[in-house]
A and B are shown apart, each in its own frame.
Chain A
Amino acid sequence: MTSADTAQPEAAEARPVRIVDAPLAPPSANLGLLSVFQKRYLLRLLVRREVQARYAGSVMGLFWSYINPLSQFFIYWFVMGHIMGAHRNVENYPIHVFSGMVVVHFFTETFGSGTRSIVRNKSLVNRLALPREMFPVSAMLVSLYHVFPATVILVIAALATGWVPDIGTLFGILLALGIIMFLGTALALMFSVANVFWRDFGSAVGIMTNFVRFGVPMIYSYAQVHEKFGHFAQYYLANPIANAVLLFQRAFWVRATDDPEKTLRTGMPHHLWTNGLIALGCSVVLLVIAQLVFNKFENRIPERL
């Protein structure tokens, strides 16, 4: 973009003519999310900044991102499994909980930090003409980055309990992460701009994530939902996050039970893949809507920050 004839100005009198090879254009022009991916280098640095800064000055560094999911795993395994007795109702309960938890965590982290992202980056938003979608998107990518250590723990724990992956494992993981990536970014976009106008939204997100945690078959199993709700369970499945959780459980938990085929029949909904694809489609549509909402309100962001 910048090409210039910068002959060294020896004499201040005769200034060189700088030829700018660019058209006259509005300085604030941007294509929303598309611009974010045009600026991949900056996006990468912003993501790295967040990740590095989180563990800066700590001796154990990135190791903490393994300890955190590991500790949660033990809490669920011990409190829910042994004290509340979930081990009796759900086969291989720890893997059941943990495969749900990876997805739920990814979502709540994206939603929470995404919502705060624009207000938190006030100094940048207020002074530079960056595409503002950059901040919710990088919040999502930081959360995605943290899915990795949790998945490593999950794989180790699953292998220890007799997990045999199949081709559905791969598709299940990809589809589940895809749903959360789109859905999380869509919600983060809308809530980040809403949070600029009313900080109430930041507080509301905390409450909503509580519902998310209990609105998916993580602590309890889908079989229990089906048993209690009968055919109303289909409304339960309208929740895209529940579908993502089920897909992740299909990838890990189902394959780690004694008889995967039987678990698939009794413990999973019938149209798992169709539901998953519909959830992905809805999330993509929601992202488009979110971008439109964002465009409508983003002009007012700098003056309200």
Chain B
Amino acid sequence: MVESIRVEHVTKNFTLQYHRTFKQMTVAMAKGQDVSNTFTAVDDVSFSVQQGESIGLMGLNGSGKSTLLKVINGVMRPDKGQVLTRGRIAGLIATGAGFHPQLTGRENIYLNAAVMGLTEKETDKIFDEVVEFADIGRFLDVPVNTYSSGMKSRLGFSVAVHIDSDIFLADEVLAVGDKYFKRKCLAKMEEIRNSGRTIFYVSHAEASVKRMCERVLVLEKGKLAFDGPVEEGIHYFQYGEELTGEEDELALEDAELGADI
């Protein structure tokens, strides 16, 4: 097996700026309050992923999932430690990034693909599939600002899943489209998984993690709290939560989503 992602003792701090204006800062300093503070979003996290593995990254809101994803994606650099990745990274983290509302769907497909690192030829090759999957029909040559929000996100999603990457990062996969499109997406995700690409999947939805992944990482307050098989990981993830009535409902919804798949 070949290593696909290596994360070594990665720590990422954020600077919290309490005051923006000069006046506020002076007042705060005179009162002896903190002007800024640091906050550790990801704290000494290490793990290694083999090519072709599909990893589910779980954690409560604010546990550092998105920051970790951004560090792996290369948007942020770790303050300590290092991240190494092999091959092209793409995924559902920047769907529709760079879309310009005044340009047409066609122009935006090329732009979005270029932003994700594709050349013109590579885009030509996937263009028809992208259009068909997004199902935008005769809106292709109309400015994107006339699209419905569903169409816009379908187009972004479609470009993202058709890029031939080695590592696929997915965040909030199921946030787009109607039931029909969601089902199509999940099928596409499975196809991606089955093609031997490394998948890094961020989700709260246990059912879909169970379905998609073979290994689970759980983050707790920036620290890696669990790294292991899916069943145990999900159990671990649930264990920390107090099940109130509200969350029961959420669990129910999640199960329904699972049934959808």
Contacts and interface: CB of A to CB of B under 8 A. Distances in A.
Are A and B bound to each other?
yes
Interface of A: 1-2, 4-6, 9, 12, 15-29, 41-42, 45-46, 49, 52-53, 56-57, 121, 123-130, 299-300, 302-304
B143 A56 contact: yes
B84 to A, nearest CB: 4
21 contacts: A1-B88, A2-B88, A4-B164, A15-B193, A25-B85, A26-B77, A26-B83, A27-B72, A27-B73, A27-B74, A27-B83, A27-B85, A45-B110, A45-B111, A52-B103, A124-B97, A127-B73, A128-B73, A128-B97, A300-B15, A304-B17
B191 A124 contact: no
A28 B3 contact: no
Contact of A299 (B52, B77, B93): B77
Interface stretch (B115-123, B174-182, B238-246): B115-123
Given A18-B195, A28-B75, A49 B166 contact: no
B196 interface: yes
Contact of A2 (B3, B74, B93, B164): B164
B2 A302 contact: no
A128 B57 CA distance: 19
A126 B75 contact: yes
B115 A124 contact: yes
Contacts of A12: 190, 194
Contacts, number: 139
Contacts of A17: 51-52, 196
A202 to B, nearest CB: 14
A130 B115 contact: yes
Contacts of A300: 15
Interface in B97-119: 97-98, 100, 102-103, 107, 110-111, 114-117, 119
B99 to A, nearest CB: 9
- Chain B contact residues (Cβ within 8 angstroms of A): what range? 35 or more
B18 to A, nearest CB: 14
Interface of B: 2-4, 6, 14-15, 17, 51-52, 70, 72-77, 82-89, 93-94, 97-98, 100, 102-103, 107, 110-111, 114-117, 119-120, 143, 164-166, 190-191, 193-197
A232 B120 CA distance: 54
Nearest to B84: A24
Residue among A12, A27, A29 with most chain B CB within 10 A? A27
B73 A9 contact: no
Given A20-B166, A49-B111, A123-B98, A6 B15 contact: no
B197 A18 contact: yes
B45 to A, nearest CB: 15
Contact of B166 (A2, A16, A26): A2
A17 B77 CA distance: 30
Given A4-B166, A57-B102, A20 B114 contact: no
B157 to A, nearest CB: 14
A28 B98 contact: no
B96 to A, nearest CB: 8
Contact of A28 (B77, B165, B193): B77
Nearest to B13: A303
B49 to A, nearest CB: 11
A46 B100 CA distance: 10
B87 A128 contact: no
A56 B102 contact: yes
Given A41-B114, A300-B15, A22 B166 contact: yes
A175 B103 CA distance: 35
A129 B51 contact: no
